[in-house]
Structures are given as structure tokens and as C-alpha cells.
């Protein structure tokens, strides 16, 4: 999630060289089935799965269920305090702070009434700090005080972290959001108030061997499995090797150099090279407005007032491939990859809040009008930071990304490889099992 001027839009990954015995924290994802409550501001806060504690013989491995909404929003549960108080958070590579709503929030802070709130009096390990903080997210903002307590993430407990208790969330988008708070996975330089990001706390307290994490976002339409976040490593079953590593150019956001963007065989964008940020807190792919307009025109989309584009769902098989050149390798997205199919069976289309503050996502009902949402949106980021492209969940749903903070020998980098679909993985495992059975001696 990009603070201004970088965030206006919805805003995990791995290391290829970790040994199997390395400490891993696994975060399985689960899918949300919105049903008829898709437009309810209270949707999504039903009973959550308990924080799992599942150790393995190869080291600590923990599981935290995450939720998925429309293949564009991914959430997970963490715990704060002793005993843990559960919160749903966005795991966001575009920011570096952890914050949740507080029971001490302002009475007129509407978001507090719709979300879980941290109660310091209910935690035996709570330590007050009291330093004020404020974060601006495009048209959404919040403020509060810093506190210290124990974080539970997966099966890892008692991680001492400094986090924000949100006391004032005046923006309506926070009240409608399907998450309680945000857990930032960006670099320390992005952290408001100079606090230590949670990833650094895990490494410093020797609960994680290296500051590396990977995200697999499952975009299959069936089942409740939404993918998996792995902290400290990756699962090779999630991607098709090899991983292509691209150096981070500016260690704040996960920013890399992109050589070019190509639409089919007739349009070239980012012709002189450009910056690109890989951001799990951004739902769509964004770029400079002039280039995004040209891209959507080449694809055949037509614009909405919100800055997003629609396409007839029936045209998906005919859409051109959109390709991104990173690290000298072309990463291709087909129409199936970059078109968002909306849940069928709704009664009327209407605006809905996006995952990140400041953006409204228009949900179009495929069953009613035969329209789908294109995964590209204009976002002009001014100099000196911009212009920039943001490769959000539409891109990261097709490619597993490895976020590696590096060490004294290797600088920060991002590794990319094509994600395996759950269906493909199951088919490969069945084929392997069948081959094994055929080879077994009679």
C-alpha cells in the first residue's frame, strides 16, 4: 500500500536457495464466497479459523488462514497480545507498519464499530508507548498511538513488536473495508515513526532465519483455497522453475526496473524502460494514464468514470497477451489472467470499496450484463518518485514473487516464476502417483 503520492489504488514469495531445514512460516489462504452479502459493510467478519500450530520435523512451520475476495483481495489472521486477540489484516508489501483499530478509538470513528478492536487491558504482555502516529493512504487516513505487545503469526508466538492502535479512522473506506488493519512487509525506510517492521522483528528475535517471504495467490475459481504466504522461504510446488531474480533499484517499496510492456504484436509501452513496484496491497495493475489508456484501447475495453475499464466477458479467449519484460525475461498475461470475472447471481451492480483506501471498485454482474473488469487502471505518480507502474495482485496471481531483502553478499531482489494452478498441481501429483504404481514390482 503506497502512501501519498504513491497510493491511490488497492494496493508474498521466496528465496530459491534456502535449505529444506530452514525455518518457515506458512500462511495458507482461504477464499471468501461473498454470496448475497457482497455489498454489506459488515461482510467478512464472521467467525475466523483459529491460528494453527502445526510444527514439522524440518523446523517451525506455521499456518495462518487468509481470505480471498474476487481474486483481487487477500487477507489473513494474526494475533496481538496475551492471550492473542485476533485481527484480519492485509499483508502489504507497499507499506511497513502494523496497525489495528483500538478500543480507545474516537467515538465517531465509524470504522471502529465495524471491526475488531485491540483491548490493551485484556493483554498481560501489553507495554504502552504513547507516541502519536499518522498515516495517509490517498483519500484514506488514520491516526493513533504506538504500543508494544506480542504478535502471533501462524504458529510463531511472542514476537515482540511495536504497532499502531488506530484511534481515528475518519474515511468511510475504512469503515467498509474487509480488513481490520494492515501488516506492512516493505523496507524499514517506509515505516512511519521509524518503528521496526514486523519482518525485521521476526529476524532479530531469531524466529526467522532470513528476511525473505513468498506469496502464492490461488486464482482458481473453485474451492476455498486462496493460496499461501511463506515467511522465511518458499514452496517449489507453488511455481514452475526457474525463478528469475531482478535487483531492487530503490529499497523502500519493492521497486525494480522494467524494460518494456508489450500488448500483442502491435503496441509497445514503457519503451525507454521504467520503474515497477510489486505490491501485494494493490489489486490491479496500474500505470501512467496515457499508457494505460492506450493499453485498454488495444485490448478493446471501454472506460468507467472511476478510471477502470470493462470488456465483454465473451471476448476473453480472443484478447491479446500483455507481456512485461523484467530481468530480461517476458512475463505474459493472457485474457484469462488479466480479466476479473465477477461473482454471478447478484441483483444490481453498484460501487464497492476497494481493498485499499481511496479507490472505489465497480462490481459488474456478469450474469446480468455480460461484462467483466479489466485488470489495468491509470495511476499517475508524479516525479521524483514517478512515473511508475504497480504490478498488483492481477500480476502476482499469475506469478509467484520472491521478496528477498538480501544480505552483505546479495542485495535486495525479487524473484518471479509462473505460478502453478491448484488443478495443475493436483493433476501432476496424480500422474506421479500413477507412474509410481505402474513401476512397483508385482
User: Which residues are catalytically annotated?
Assistant: 92, 279
| CA neighbor of 63 nearest in space, from 30, 90, 89, 102 | 30
**Looking at residue 307, what DSSP letter applies?**
S
Q: Which value, in Å, is the radius of gyration of the alpha carbons in the chain?
A: 21
The owner of cell 552483505 is 408
**The three grid cell numbers given for residue 187, joined into one nine-digit string:** 523496507
Mark out the alpha helices in 278-344 (DSSP H runs): 289-299, 335-338
Give yes or no for a contact between 65 and 76, defined as CB atoms under 8 angstroms apart. Answer: yes
**CA 66 – CA 62 distance, rounded (Å):** 13
Burial tier of 230 (Cβ tally within 10 Å: 0-12, 13-18, 19+) = buried
The phi-psi region of residue 382 (left if phi > 0; otherwise alpha if psi is between -120 and 50; otherwise beta) is beta
For residue 34, the SS3 value is: coil
The owner of cell 487468509 is 66
**The three grid cell numbers given for residue 180, joined into one nine-digit string:** 481490520
The phi-psi region of residue 263 (left if phi > 0; otherwise alpha if psi is between -120 and 50; otherwise beta) is beta
**H helix or E strand, kind and range, residue 322:** strand 322-326
Amino acid at each position: 500500500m503506497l502512501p501519498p503520492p504513491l497510493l491511490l489504488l488497492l494496493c508474498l514469495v521466496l528465496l530459491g536457495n534456502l535449505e529444506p531445514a530452514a525455518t518457515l512460516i506458512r500462511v495458507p489462504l482461504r477464499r471468501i464466497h461473498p454470496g448475497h452479502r457482497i455489498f454489506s459493510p459488515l461482510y467478512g467478519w464472521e467467525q475466523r479459523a483459529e491460528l494453527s500450530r502445526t510444527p514439522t520435523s524440518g523446523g517451525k512451520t506455521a499456518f495462518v488462514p487468509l481470505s480471498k475476495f474476487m481474486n483481487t483481495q487477500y487477507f489473513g489472521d494474526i494475533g496481538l497480545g496475551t492471550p492473542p486477540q485476533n485481527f484480519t489484516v492485509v499483508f502489504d508489501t507497499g507499506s511497513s507498519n502494523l496497525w489495528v483499530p483500538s478500543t480507545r478509538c474516537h467515538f465517531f470513528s465509524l470504522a471502529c464499530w465495524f471491526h475488531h478492536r485491540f483491548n490493551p487491558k485484556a493483554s498481560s504482555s501489553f507495554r504502552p508507548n504513547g507516541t502519536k502516529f499518522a498515516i495517509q493512504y490517498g483519500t484514506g487516513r488514520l491516526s493513533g498511538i504506538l504500543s508494544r505487545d506480542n504478535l502471533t503469526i501462524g504458529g510463531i508466538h511472542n514476537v515482540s513488536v511495536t504497532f499502531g492502535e488506530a484511534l481515528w479512522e475518519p474515511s468511510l473506506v475504512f469503515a467498509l473495508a474487509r480488513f481490520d488493519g494492515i501488516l506492512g512487509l516493505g523496507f524499514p525506510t517506509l515505516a512511519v515513526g521509524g518503528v521496526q517492521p514486523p519482518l525485521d522483528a521476526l529476524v532479530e528475535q531469531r524466529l526467522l532465519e532470513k528476511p525473505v517471504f513468498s506469496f502464492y495467490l490461488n486464482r482458481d475459481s473453485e474451492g476455498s483455497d486462496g493460496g499461501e504466504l511463506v515467511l522465511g522461504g518458499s514452496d517449489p510446488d507453488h511455481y514452475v522453475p526457474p525463478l528469475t531474480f531482478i535487483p531492487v533499484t530503490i529499497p523502500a517499496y519493492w521497486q525494480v526496473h522494467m524494460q518494456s510492456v508489450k500488448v500483442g504484436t502491435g503496441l509497445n509501452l514503457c519503451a525507454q524502460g521504467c520503474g515497477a513496484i510489486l505490491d501485494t496491497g494493490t489489486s490491479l495493475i496500474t500505470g501512467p494514464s496515457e499508457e494505460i489508456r492506450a493499453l485498454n484501447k488495444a485490448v478493446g475495453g471501454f472506460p468507467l468514470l472511476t478510471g477502470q475499464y470493462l470488456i465483454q466477458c465473451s471476448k476473453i479467449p480472443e484478447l491479446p497477451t500483455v507481456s512485461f519484460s523484467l530481468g530480461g525475461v517476458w512475463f505474459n498475461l493472457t485474457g484469462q489472467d488479466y480479466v476479473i470475472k465477477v461473482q454471478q447471481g447478484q441483483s444490481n451492480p453498484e460501487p464497492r470499496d476497494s481493498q485499499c483506501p481511496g479507490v472505489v471498485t465497480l462490481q459488474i454482474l456478469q450474469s446480468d450484463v455480460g461484462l467483466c473488469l479489466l485488470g489495468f487502471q491509470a495511476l499517475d505518480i508524479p516525479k521524483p518518485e514517478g512515473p511508475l507502474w504497480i504490478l498488483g495482485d492481477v500480476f502476482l496471481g499469475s506469478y509467484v514473487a520472491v521478496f528477498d531483502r538480501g544480505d552483505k553478499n546479495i542485495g535486495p531482489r525479487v524473484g518471479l516464476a509462473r505460478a502453478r494452478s491448484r488443478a495443475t498441481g493436483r493433476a501432476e501429483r496424480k500422474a506421479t502417483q500413477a507412474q509410481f504404481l505402474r513401476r512397483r514390482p508385482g
